[in-house]
Structures are given as C-alpha cells and as structure tokens.
Structure 1
Amino acid sequence: MSQVPTSQAPTSPAPASNVPVTKIPSANCASNTLDNNTLDNVNIEPTTLAARLARPELLELTPYQSARRLGGRGDIWINANESPFNNVAVAELDLSKLNRYPECQPPALINAYSQYSGVVESKIVASRGADEAIELLIRAFCIPGIDSIATFGPTYGMYAISAQTFNVGVKALSLTAEYGLPTDFATAARGAKLVFICNPNNPTGTVIDKARIEQAIQALPDAIVVVDEAYIEFCPEYSVADLLESYPNLVVLRTLSKAFALAGARCGFLLANEEIIEIIMRVIAPYPVPLPVSEVAVQALSPAGIARMKTQVKALNAQGERLASALNLYCEQWGGAVLTPNGNYVLAEFDDVAKVAKLLIDNGIVARAYKDPRLAKAIRFSFSSQADTDRLVSLFESQKL
C-alpha cells in the first residue's frame, strides 16, 4: 500500500531579525474539522495601533488551530485525540483552599508523578499541559532573532508555532518515507538549540525505535533533544524516560491529556536533569498549576487512577483495532493506505479524500484533515467509545461494492 508522502517544507521571507523562520505547513493547521472553518483569513489592518506596535513577524504568523478553535458540526467528535472517558470524582476533591494561591510545584503532584514515571522528583516540573513546557524550553534556551529549533515533520504543529511566536528560527526537516529519522539528521539539525522528536508521532501515529532516539541524543551533544511522549501510555516500551540519568541533553515531555483523560485540566510534565530544571524554574509563571488541577491530577495518579487508565487504554486500543481494520478494508477497495497506530488515533490516506470527507460530514462525524501538502489526502481518526466506533465501522462497511 502507498505511504503518506513527505517533503521538505517551503520557506517564507525572513522576519525582522537575522534568523530565517521556515513557514511550516503544520500538520495540525487543519482544514477541518473538514468544514474549512479556519482563521487563515483574519486580517489585521496595518494602520491600527495593534499592527503598528506588534512585533513584525507576528503579523505574518498563522496561529495554531486547535480542534476547538476550528470548530465543526457533528455528534461524533474524533478530531482532537481526546479520551471518551470522564473519570474525575469531584466529590473527593479538596477545594477548601481556593482562596489561597497554589504552590508553584505542588509536592503531592510532583511526588505522585515521580512514583508513576520512575523519575526522581528533582527532575520533574509540572506545567499547564505539555504545550507550556514547549514554550518554557524555547523561552529559556533560545535567543530571539538568533537561535533556532529543529523539527521532523509531518509532526505536531506547536513546536514551530511556539518558536515563531518568540521569533526563534525553525529548521523544518522531514522524516523518511517510513517516518523515521533521516540518516543525516545530525548534520541537518546542527546549530539548533532544541531538537524536537514526537514519539509516537502526531499525527502519523508512527514510532521511532528507542535505540534510534538514543543515537540522536548521542549525536547531538550540544543540543537539547526533546522527546514528546504525549501518547506514550499507548506504547510504553518506546519511552526514553529511563535515559534521563545517562544523558544531560535529554528532555522528555509528558501529559495527562490523553491516556489519563484529563485534556480539560491542562496538566503536563517536563522531565530533565536538575540543571535544565533549574533554568526552567527561572522562567515559569509563579502559579502554573491551579489547585483544582493539582487535586484532579493527584487523583488520576493514585494506584486506582493508574489502574483505571491502563484498563481504558486497553479498551481504546481494542476500538482502534476495529476502526483501523474497517479503514483498511475500505482502502483496499477504494484506494489508500492506513498507518499502523501507536497512539489513540489512526491516520489514513485516501485516493479520493474529498469523497471520504463528504461521507464523514454528511454523517455528523468530526475528524481531522490537513493543509500540510504531505498530508493532503490524509484524515486522522481519534479512538473513541464502542458506540462511536460501531457507527464508524458501519459507515465504512456500507461503502462496499
């Protein structure tokens, strides 16, 4: 079967600095929710106060378009890799101190994540989702107008968007046809202060072997290699968190948004050596983790919460296998390819993607399509409940000749 194509990203004119910023057809600047309801056409009049005072490069920046920002219409929402489960026991939360500011790094939360991850507390920072951790790294280590980061695409769009927001350059490198690191990755990424590797990769769902990532860490001793493990609970054998003791240039990003079903809580973690943690603590906001978020997260990281998460991951994987099988059968008949999923989503390429997009829209299904030319024929489907999967499987099976 064919592979989703990859290519080098085009470049745009340099911003008002000496650093060229690559304009990336972000894998997550979607054309959907399949409705073309985007913010691309919002213009700021050049004569307004905001335009005159804004940093010039921001006037050319297309903001990150999250699933919620894109919107959409339907009753099955599978465009944001959210969990269909809602596990919070509100009655068990202690919210008696909401009149007080929370601690910057709540000890109970850090301890709970240390127990879960096997990483010592001194190597953990809690943040408002992994997205804030990305921004913290860029703010802490990249000089605006001088430094750059490197990414391997198609991948999660926030690495590039966060860099561009701070006028930091982006080396937009491509994964191989099999979505691995290219043989010349070290040479191509040379000069970048931060090198981002998403594993499992979003949106392709592919994984890079742990040994290969360790090679990247070793090959880039003068850069910080940031491995985004947002979906690692779905394939824990690929985690490199255990390498933190061996490599001072390794950072691992984690989140409770996916497997732990807490996307609305916005709780993530940055794992790194103590020196990197110290620098991060110099730029982090004074109260990054609201008290209710900390309470909910500690509840999720309890032994019972972790056991529940693992049970739900198995259930989601089972539904994902059903969906991937139905997509494969559709592609065998109508043309296309389905990538093997390793997260809570599956990416499929369709020879006639417009036909599939219309099929989904007509049936109230909100999935994720892409403007990135490398993913022009691809749609990503998040794993969901059995009822949602039943509808999806039936829909694709109904297209048999």
Structure 2
Amino acid sequence: MSGVLQLLREDLRDFAGYSSARSTALAGEVWLNANESAWANPADADAACRRYPDPQPQALRARLAALYGCTPEQVLLGRGSDEAIDLLVRALCVPGRDGVLYTPPVFGMYAVSARLQNAPALEVPLRDTEAGLVPDIDAIIATALQHRARLVFLCSPSNPGGLSLPLAQVAQVASALRGQALVVVDEAYAEFADVPSAVGLLAQHENLAVLRTLSKAHALAAARIGCVIADAGLIAALRRCQAPYPIPAPCSALALEGLGEAALARTRERIAWVRHERARLHAALAALPGVRRVYASDANFLLVRFADAEAAFGRLLAAGVVVRDQRAAVLLHDALRITLGTPEQNARVLDALATLEPAA
C-alpha cells in the first residue's frame, strides 16, 4: 500500500464499496440489469434520463484532466467541491480522533464536514497584514503536527480573503506533514489568479490533493460539477466511498459542451473582463468616504471593510443588490464580500454606496 493510502481510515483501506449495475463494463442490446424503466418519462424527449449515468463520465473526466494538467486516473468527479470536501473528511478521518485544519475566515464547508464527521476542528486564523489576509504557515504546520491533523485545507485564492498561496508555501506544508496529513488546496477561484495550480506539485508530493470546480469561472454552478485531483490510488479509494451515480447525465453533457474550445474561448474573455472590473472597482470603492479598506484579490470578488457595514448592507439591498455579509466571521466584524458583476452591476454597487458616511 502506497504511503498516501496509509492516510485512509484503517477500516476503509480494504473497503470495496458498492458495486452498481454500471460498475462493470458489459456489452449488450437489451439492458435489464439495473431495474430501470423500459420507457422514457413523457417529459424526457430524447430518453437521456431513463438509464443510470456513467458513475465517472469518461469523456468529461478526460477533458478536465487535459484542462488541469493531470491524468484521468488522478481525477474524481463529484457534485461540486462540496462533495469532494465531505468525501475526503469521511474517508480519512476517524471520528473523535483525526483533526481537520482550516484557516478562518474561510469557506465554511470545511468546518461543516468536520462537524458532521465528529472530527476535531483545528483553526489557525489568517493574519491580517498590509498585504492582506495571509496564512500563518509555521502555525499551520505546528498545529497540524501537535494535534494529529489528518486533513489540512488551504484555500487559494482564499475565500473571502482573496489572496493566492505561493506554491512554495504549499510545498512547505506538504513536506512537513508527509506521512501524517493530506494537504488539500481548494482552487475554486484559480482561473482568476496568476499563481500556477498546485496540480504541478503532485508528482513531488503524494500527500497533496487539489479541488477544482466549474461553478465559478465556467458559470456552471447549477450543474454541480467539481473534482478532486490527487494520487491515482487515493482517487480509486475515494471512488469506492462515493455514492454510485454522483454525476447526472444532463449535467455531464452540459459540462462537456461548456468545456469545448468555443466555450472556453468565451470563458477566457469573461475572465479577462472580471479581472479588469476587479481593478476598476477596487480603486473606485477605496475612494469612497465610507470605506475603510478594500483587500487585494486574485478571485472574482472583493472583501471590503466599512465604517458602518450595516448601513452599507442596507443601502445595497435598497438598491436591489445582494452581497455577502461577512460580519459574523473571524476578523471581519465590519466587512462585506462583493462579487464582481457586469460593468453595469458594478456601477450600481458604487451608486448605492456613494453617499455613505466617511470612515472615522
């Protein structure tokens, strides 16, 4: 058993999982092995949904592998990054023993999945510096070693902090925790950043995994398509712990079409627009009298501190603009997160905030 597979829960290392009717490649003309309907639903015009889908659609898996620079065997498809996070926690963490480390303020599903698994939650808060909200790498390593972390989640670019993590720091954490923990880099917003993907580190660090999603830059949030990229042996083990048919066929078809060359060219254009609007809105917000700070961002959002965040939130709602209230998060008692919209939508944000009282 390879080193990274030693990180699986002991009781799951020889777990075979569920063998579905589509688990084995069989040839035939009349399919009567899965208790499916012999007729399509009246609303299913092309009969695409009568049969159970491919558990891991091979064309989509290959397309994502080519897009992310890995092999298809290193890719596990799932229902967004959320499923991948939950699956990793369940497969690697013995309840009550193996810790899950994350760096608040950060995406909340790491903590939720840890709680559901009764895995000890290990929080190492980001540091609020002149550069922005950055992780304390030395504290992450020390806490993980001291408290038996089995999973370490690093969000890059960070949500809601906005900054990317240098690959040298990812490698530093993975090296320090080799044999003890899987380091998971959540790259949900990577398309909007300049930092290369941590997928390029997989060959040197088998205890590394990367999360990607089609929900953000690729505008397929409702399709719920994400993946975890890791050691092929770990991917195979995770698949055995996954539900039989995680990817609905219509969603798979839509995702494959959305990753065609024409669609990708359009996506790249839109990413460029987001980056342009990010710089423009950052400068415009920073100049408003009621704004205390706008954080640098490598993602498709800006984190903003206000002199009166309640008033800012109310002004935006009154203008029909809904943003993310971050005031309950660690370090962010006066902050809102604003997603970059179209130029017209961004102008609406600025208009709504233009008359806020100045910061004290």
User: Which residue of 2 is the match for residue 357 of structure 1?
Assistant: 313
Determine if contact 1:323/1:392 at 8 Å carries over to the other structure.
no
User: Which residue of 2 is the match for residue 206 of structure 1?
Assistant: 163
Distance of 2:280 and 2:223 partners within structure 1? 29
Once the 2 structures are TM-superposed, how far is the Cα of residue 213 of structure 1 from its aligned partner?
A: 1.3
User: Which residue of 1 is the match for residue 257 of structure 2?
Assistant: 299
User: Which residue of 2 is the match for residue 216 of structure 1?
Assistant: 173
2:77 is aligned, of 122, 126, 138, to 126
Mapping of residues 70-109 of structure 1, within 5 Å? 96-109=47-60
Letter in 2 for 1:351: A
Q: TM-score, normalised by structure 1?
A: 0.73
Distance of 2:263 and 2:192 partners within structure 1? 16
Q: TM-score, normalised by structure 2?
A: 0.82
Once the 2 structures are TM-superposed, how far is the Cα of residue 388 of structure 1 from its aligned partner?
A: 0.7
| Structure 2 residue runs without a partner (length 5+) | 1-44
Mapping of residues 207-356 of structure 1, within 5 Å? 207-221=164-178, 222-330=180-288, 333-356=289-312
Counterpart secondary structure, 1:252: strand
Counterpart secondary structure, 1:195: strand
Determine if contact 2:48/2:250 at 8 Å carries over to the other structure.
no
Determine if contact 1:152/1:181 at 8 Å carries over to the other structure.
yes
Distance of 2:164 and 2:66 partners within structure 1? 25
How big is the alpha-carbon RMSD for the aligned residues of Structure 1 and Structure 2?
Answer: 1.6
Structure with bigger gyration radius? 2
Determine if contact 1:205/1:347 at 8 Å carries over to the other structure.
yes
Distance of 1:248 and 1:394 partners within structure 2? 49
Distance of 1:385 and 1:337 partners within structure 2? 22
Mapping of residues 31-110 of structure 1, within 5 Å? 96-110=47-61
1:184 lines up with 2:135 in the alignment: no
CA deviation map 1:123-167 (0-9, x unaligned):
001000000000110111111122211011111100010110111
User: Which residue of 2 is the match for residue 379 of structure 1?
Assistant: 336
Once the 2 structures are TM-superposed, how far is the Cα of residue 208 of structure 1 from its aligned partner?
A: 1.7
Once the 2 structures are TM-superposed, how far is the Cα of residue 351 of structure 1 from its aligned partner?
A: 2.1
Higher relative contact order (CA 8 A, sep 6+): 1
1:158 is aligned, of 94, 106, 109, to 109
Once the 2 structures are TM-superposed, how far is the Cα of residue 373 of structure 1 from its aligned partner?
A: 4.2
Distance of 2:164 and 2:126 partners within structure 1? 11
**Aligned pairs, how many?**
306
Mapping of residues 8-27 of structure 1, within 5 Å? none
- The percent of aligned pairs where both chains have the same amino acid is 35
CA deviation map 1:33-71 (0-9, x unaligned):
xxxxxxxxxxxxxxxxxxxxxxxxxxxxxxxxxxxxxxx
Determine if contact 1:196/1:226 at 8 Å carries over to the other structure.
yes
| Structure 1 residue runs without a partner (length 5+) | 1-93
